[in-house]
Each structure stands twice: as C-alpha cells, then as structure tokens.
Amino acid sequence: MKLIISFLFLIFIVHNHNAQSIASNMKVAEDSLIYFLEKARAQETETNKKFYNKKFKDKLSYVLIRNSKSFNYPFEKLGKQMGTMKSPDGVFRMFNWNLELNKYGEHQYYCLIMKYDKRKDNYYIIDCKDKSKYARNPEYTQYTDKKWYGALYYKIIPVKKGGRTIYTLLAWDGNDISSNKKIIETMKFSGNKKVKFGDPIFRIDDEKIKRRVIFQYKQDTYMSVKYKKIKKEDYIIFDHLSPTSPELEGIKDWYVTDLSFDAFVWRKGRWEYLKDVDVRTSKKFKTKYNDPLKEK
C-alpha cells in the first residue's frame, strides 16, 4: 500500500513539474513575442517595421505550432497589445494585430487562425494575407485567407445557417489619417485548412444583399458596433452615421454619429436590417427619428 501511495505521489510530482515547466516556457515565449512586436511598432521606417514584424510573426507561428497548450494559454500580457480571441464555441483562436505603416495613418493587418485537426490530432495555422489595399467593391466581394480584407477583430458571433456554423466578426480598421472604419464580416472554414470571408447574408432594405458591411466615419470621433442577445434573438446594434453638414453628403471622412441607432437581427439565415432602433428594447421607434442636421 505504501508503495502504491509513493508511486502515485511520484506521478503527481512529475506531472506538476511538467505543468510548471510548460507554463514557464510559455511565459518566456510570451515575453519574447512582446519584445518583437514592440520593436516592430517602434521603428521609424516601413522597411524596419516589416523586418521586425516578420520576426514576431515567425516566432508566434513557431510557438503556436510547437506547443498545443498555446491554444488555451491566456496570453494576458500579449493580449493587451493585439487580439488573441477564442471563438465562443472553442473551435478556433485568432491571433490578430496591426502595424501603422506611415505618416498617412495607413495600417497593415495580420491574422493567424489556430484550429484543431481531428484527423491528425494536432493544431494547424491559417495565415491570412491582408490585400485590402487592392480591394475593389469590398462589400460585395468574397475573400479567402490568401486574399483577406484585413482588420482588427474584437467580437466573434457564431450563427447557424443550414446546419453549418458561420462566424460573424465585428472589426475595426484605422484606415487613414482622415477616417476610421467599423466592419461587420463573416467567416467560415472551407476545404483543407482554408477559410472564406464574406457570405451574402446582409439584407438592407431593397439594396443588393451584401457580403460585408463597412462603416466609414471621421477619424477623431467614435462609432459603436456591438452584439447583443435579446429574447433569444441575436442583434448587432450600431450608431447611425450622418455628414456633419448637408453639403458633405457622400464624403465619408466627415460622417459622425447622429444619436440614433440602427441594427441587424439574425432571422432565417440572414442579418436583416432595422432602422431607427430603440437600444433599450431593440424595437423600431414608432415615430421616425428627426435628424437635427436636416432640421437646420
């Protein structure tokens, strides 16, 4: 009996030591990652920024692939400088960051998606390549990991369509020195270690159904786009944008919030648009909101 107890105690000690060793190694790796990311962002030239960013990205890929524990490791310090979100259903994890490249405020985005491969009993990495600089008509275009409309994601919303999970993503884009963007995007896994962005599921009145929704607004202002569940229905509620004066209609660099709210509600496999929503109840106002700019 004493021999069995001693053996179990020995197993406990070894297991505890291994757990502490893994945690220690991950902490060292996290500190190293933070060093390279800070180094990249501190550089003055675009060339040097990208040089150190490559070191950061290579190091991050190595850490994620070599250590399966990294999927659940909190990355608390690194998470203060970039996105390290896990999907609510636990299927994948996103490591998502940006570099501000030049004096014009242009950004380059990066995203590594970590997902479990049941067949190989291991994790794999999908590397998303930001090609938003070359995007044409992005609200109606489908993208892949090889040609990605880059942004910083801050919310993952799993929804079901035809028995399949589609992930709705809320994102921010620094755009340039004049304006920012908020983006409502979709993502789904496709084929062998690939993803597709942009399902045609955003219905706005009589417009052509969109694959993603992009809001552009004045750089020094704020726009809210938030997910909310009300009475078992999924809502994305957002500030309505209007130009600062009527003559600036259509010039998105001068759009700001006008104190009204619109929303999308998930119904029958689509995000349906609702205008003039009461944020307390997510119901449409009985009387139309009066835009103060149009009252002048």
Of 140, 141, 144, the C-alpha closest to 195 is 144
- Per the document, the length of the chain is 296
Q: What is the CB neighbour count within 10 angstroms for residue 125? A: 14
Backbone angles phi, psi at 91, to 5 degrees: -80, -40
User: The tokens of 254 are what?
Assistant: 């001068």
pLDDT (average), residues 280-285: 62
pLDDT above 60 for 11: no
pLDDT (average), residues 54-67: 96
> In percent, how much of the chain has pLDDT > 90?
78
pLDDT for res 16: 42
pLDDT above 50 for 62: yes
pLDDT above 70 for 293: no
Which pTM was predicted?
0.87
State the angle between helix axes of 2-42 and 46-66 in degrees (0 to 180), rounded to the nearest 10: 170
pLDDT (average), residues 281-290: 49
Is the Cβ–Cβ distance between 137 and 207 less than 8 Å? no
pLDDT for res 103: 85
pLDDT above 60 for 123: yes
User: The tokens of 58 are what?
Assistant: 């290579």
Q: How far apart are CA 54 and CA 46, in angstroms?
A: 12
Beta bridge partners of 115: 92, 124
E strands of 40-121, at which residues? 92-100, 107-117
pLDDT-based confidence at residue 294 (cuts at 50, 70, 90): very low
pLDDT-based confidence at residue 120 (cuts at 50, 70, 90): confident
How many angstroms separate the Cα of 124 from the Cα of each of 4, 183, 244? 40, 27, 47
pLDDT for res 292: 32
| Cα distance between the two ends of the chain | 89
Using DSSP bridges, classify how beta strands 270-274 and 202-203 pair: parallel, antiparallel or unpaired.
Answer: parallel
User: The tokens of 233 are what?
Assistant: 């229905």
Q: What is the CA radius of gyration of the chain?
A: 23
pLDDT for res 296: 33
Residue that wins the pLDDT comparison between 214 and 22: 214
pLDDT-based confidence at residue 2 (cuts at 50, 70, 90): low
Q: Can you say whether residue 166 is alpha, beta or left, with left for phi > 0 and alpha for psi between -120 and 50 degrees?
A: beta
Exposed / middle / buried, residue 249 (Cβ in 10 Å: 0-12, 13-18, 19+): exposed
pLDDT for res 136: 94
pLDDT tens-place string over residues 18-57: 444 446 689 999 999 999 999 999 999 999 999 999 999 9
pLDDT above 50 for 87: yes
